[in-house]
Chains A and B, each alone.
Chain A
Amino acid sequence: MLDALTLVTGVAALLLAAWCGWAAYRDQPTKDWHFIGMAVVSLLAVVQLVIGIVQLARGEKPEQGTTIFVAYLLGAFACIPAAGFMSLAERTRWGSVTVAAGAVVLAVLEVRLYDIWGG
């Protein structure tokens, strides 16, 4: 369950990165549709955070330690909202670049989460 969600979130993050990268390439700031996309990806991260904590509460142990696992879950959760707010402050193509960079960072975090959980 968690592994599937990690995969979906990672792929969604890469799609968001490509989409915002395209906006930056066309010299456009992030628009409403991009924010809806960010909301979807952030929602996936929230679900992942909840399921991760439920798994821990059930007594399952991540391979590389609980602290690291929770820290990465929180990082993945905060990643896109943080980049989204920065793109609100910067209404140019560079705001789009920031969100694209944020989504790439999230995808990397998902790969690490997969390793930490021990998939």
Chain B
Amino acid sequence: MTAVQEKPARLISGPGIVLVWFYGVMVVGAVSRSAYQIATDFDRAPLSYSLSAVAGVVYGFITYSLVRGGETARRAAQVCCAAELAGVLVVGTWTLIEPSAFHDSTVWSDYGMGYVFIPVLLPLSALYWLRKSRTPRP
């Protein structure tokens, strides 16, 4: 019996490439922003800056999964996108109800208004795309 080396399903063909681009931009944006803020004055708004850092890590993982491709990566990306969406919704609502908890804005404040709502639109389109590119079970 010969082992058939299956090529992992590509997740970055077609519209996927646009998703990777936006996720890449968000990784650079969120990571560099939080790194700078944590390095210079973390004490001013520890919660906001930590949340931005977490957002950056999540974006990084999703970007990596999309580029890697394959069914496992697709599922991992799906879970992270759901977590990301939950994060945006929770933090967005939180910043609206209780602005005093945040001493500075985060990437996810007001549903990502400072980033033209990309943080809330991105996980929605990514989830849609990942659902569509599911490989059918044999």
Could you tell me which A residues sit within 8 Å of B by CB distance?
Answer: 67-68, 71, 75, 82-83, 86-87, 89-90, 92, 94-95, 97-98, 101-102, 105, 108
Interchain CB contact under 8 A, A97 and B18 = yes
Question: What residues of chain A lie closer than 8 Å to B16, measured between beta carbons?
Answer: 94
Could you tell me which B residues sit within 8 Å of A by CB distance?
Answer: 12-18, 20-22, 24-25, 28, 32, 36, 40, 116
A-B contact pairs, 22 of them (CB 8 A): A67-B40, A71-B36, A75-B32, A82-B24, A86-B17, A86-B21, A87-B17, A89-B17, A90-B12, A90-B17, A94-B14, A94-B15, A94-B16, A94-B17, A94-B18, A97-B15, A98-B17, A98-B18, A101-B18, A101-B21, A101-B22, A108-B116
Question: What residues of chain A lie closer than 8 Å to B13, measured between beta carbons?
Answer: 90
A110 CA / B130 CA spacing, docked (Å): 32
Name which residue of chain B comes closest to A79, CB basis.
B25
B15, B21, B25, B28: which has the most chain A beta carbons within 10 Å? Answer: B21
Closest 8 CB pairs of A and B: A90-B17, A98-B21, A94-B14, A97-B18, A98-B18, A94-B17, A98-B17, A94-B15
Known: A75-B28, A90-B14, A94-B14. A102 touches B21 (CB 8 A): yes
Choose one: B21, B32, B40, B116; the contact of A71 (CB below 8 Å).
Answer: B32
Interchain CB contact under 8 A, B36 and A68 = yes
- Count how many pairs of residues, one from A and one from B, have CB atoms less than 8 Å apart in the complex: 38
Name which residue of chain A comes closest to B35, CB basis.
A71
New A-B contacts (11) at CB < 8 Å, excluding given A75-B32, A101-B21: A71-B36, A89-B12, A89-B17, A90-B14, A90-B17, A94-B16, A94-B17, A94-B18, A102-B21, A105-B25, A108-B116
Interchain CB contact under 8 A, A86 and B20 = yes
Choose one: A67, A87, A92, A101; the contact of B14 (CB below 8 Å).
Answer: A92
A15 CA / B20 CA spacing, docked (Å): 23
Name which residue of chain B comes closest to A78, CB basis.
B28
B22, B25, B32: which has the most chain A beta carbons within 10 Å? Answer: B25
Question: What residues of chain A lie closer than 8 Å to B24, measured between beta carbons?
Answer: 82
Question: What residues of chain B lie closer than 8 Å to A105, measured between beta carbons?
Answer: 25
Name which residue of chain A comes closest to B13, CB basis.
A90
A61 CA / B111 CA spacing, docked (Å): 33
A67 CA / B73 CA spacing, docked (Å): 35
CB A115 to nearest CB in B, in angstroms, measures 13
